[in-house]
Copies of this chain bind each other. A is one copy, B any other.
Amino acid sequence: MLSKEFSFELIAQNEKARLGKINTPRGIIDTPAFMPVGTQGTVKGIFTDDILQTNTQIILGNTYHLLLRPGIKILEKYNGLHNFMNWNKPILTDSGGYQIMSLSKFNKIDSKMGAIFTSHIDGKKIILSPEKSIQVQKSINSDIIMVLDECPKLTTDKKILSKAIDVSTHWAKRSKTEFGNNKSKALFGIAQGGLFKDLRIESIQKLIEINFNGYAMGGLAVGEKQSDMFKILNESIDYFPKDKPRYLMGVGTPSDILGAVKEGVDMFDCVMPTRSGRTGLAFTWQGKVNLKNSKYQNDKMPLDEDCEIKELNKYSKGYLNHLIKSNEMMASMLISLHNIYFYQQFMREIQTNIKNRTFQSFYKKYINLFN
């Protein structure tokens, strides 16, 4: 039977790598978990019943995009995104903060009002306050809600990073108040602080004082070196409470995930498997495969002989190469699905290896395969 409340259980640990389980009223999420991204109410090119076949237990929706289109009025009519897009398992939504920085024009941060921006669709001016972000995520009926944060671009300017922590902490408090008391859902705080250990710890400690159901690392995977990301995780992640899930936002390649799991991260999301799928790049146990390359033209082998979902093992690399060259959307459909399948298989292998206390050798075997 499904839990009526959100909860997290730490099941096993192999050095810092953690095996866990998140319970939600809509389903359990085994961690370390990967969340495919469904930006606009669809994981691009993949039917929801095929996503289920990949053993995906949770997907991510983007508050910024969904607020602009279809808008909260329509989402409320459907009692939220699950029903609208025909996905009945858990959904996590980001707060919209990151997209406001990266996608919209003339954005401005006003600590009191929130993020002020113009829509990238129709140029309309919108103010997203911390309260409004939570309200929108409630309209989406999201199972895991993120606080609105200020996510600065990659910088070594401590003043900018410090100010972002101040604003984000202030907004995190207001988000918590707006979220109120709802045990069936979760609210996660987001730490900032760039690549500075002292700032990360400061941000984390301020969030812990507010007390959230889970904690995210924000402001990483914004262009820094992978080794820098692993280093700051190593230096700061132990300051998060052990009994709450830890989410590294927007990450990443399979080796990014592997290295972050090694430091103790539990949750990930990234557009990489679907975006790469649309450009003909596949992830496999032999590494990355660029199916645009003509050398695959005569390759009769599938990407994964053992993958039986959607008969993916019946489609050869030669056929995929043909579809890409012919600009057929079937290429995106098949490779995106393969990539999500691969990512989830990768996560299950990570889980198994933590359980069996063999994670370190798994890590060594694959950490450089996808770079």
**Are A41 and B333 also in contact (CB < 8 A) when A297-B70, A300-B77, A311-B86 are?**
no
Other-chain contact of A74, B48, B86, B298 (Cβ < 8 Å): B298
CB <8 Å contact, A45 and B333: yes
Note all chain B residues with C-beta closer than 8 A to A346: none
**Are A330 and B69 also in contact (CB < 8 A) when A74-B298, A298-B77 are?**
no
For the complex, count residues of A whose C-beta is within 8 A of B: 35
CB <8 Å contact, B40 and A74: no
**Are A322 and B41 also in contact (CB < 8 A) when A297-B74, A310-B49 are?**
yes
CB distance from A53 to the nearest CB of B (A): 12
1/0 per residue, CB under 8 A from B, across A181-213: the answer is 000000000000000000000000000000000
A118 to B170: give the CA distance in the assembly, Å: 66
User: Which of A280-317 touch B at CB < 8 Å?
Assistant: 297-298, 300, 310-311, 314-316
Note all chain B residues with C-beta closer than 8 A to A45: 329-330, 333
A16 to B363: give the CA distance in the assembly, Å: 71
Note all chain B residues with C-beta closer than 8 A to A78: 300, 316, 318
User: Which of A13-44 touch B at CB < 8 Å?
Assistant: 40-42, 44
CB <8 Å contact, B47 and A323: no
User: Which of A75-101 touch B at CB < 8 Å?
Assistant: 77-78, 84-86
CB distance from A332 to the nearest CB of B (A): 7
Note all chain B residues with C-beta closer than 8 A to A310: 47, 49
Note all chain B residues with C-beta closer than 8 A to A105: none
CB <8 Å contact, A323 and B86: no
- This chain's copy number in the assembly: 2
CB <8 Å contact, A319 and B41: yes
**Are A330 and B44 also in contact (CB < 8 A) when A69-B322, A69-B325, A319-B84 are?**
yes
Note all chain B residues with C-beta closer than 8 A to A40: 322-323, 326, 328
Other-chain contact of A318, B44, B74, B328 (Cβ < 8 Å): B74
Note all chain B residues with C-beta closer than 8 A to A74: 297-298, 318, 322
CB distance from A297 to the nearest CB of B (A): 7
10 CB-based A-B contacts, threshold 8 Å? A41-B319, A44-B329, A44-B330, A49-B310, A77-B298, A77-B318, A78-B318, A84-B322, A329-B332, A329-B333
Q: Chain A interface (Cβ within 8 Å of chain B)?
A: 40-42, 44-45, 47-49, 69-70, 74, 77-78, 84-86, 297-298, 300, 310-311, 314-316, 318-319, 322-323, 325-326, 328-330, 332-333
A-B pairs, top 9 by smallest CB distance, nearest first, are: A42-B330, A40-B326, A70-B322, A86-B314, A42-B328, A45-B329, A329-B329, A84-B319, A40-B328
Q: A40-B322, A84-B322, A86-B311 provided; 13 other pairs, C-beta below 8 A?
A: A40-B323, A42-B328, A44-B329, A47-B330, A48-B311, A49-B311, A69-B322, A74-B318, A77-B298, A84-B316, A84-B318, A86-B319, A329-B332
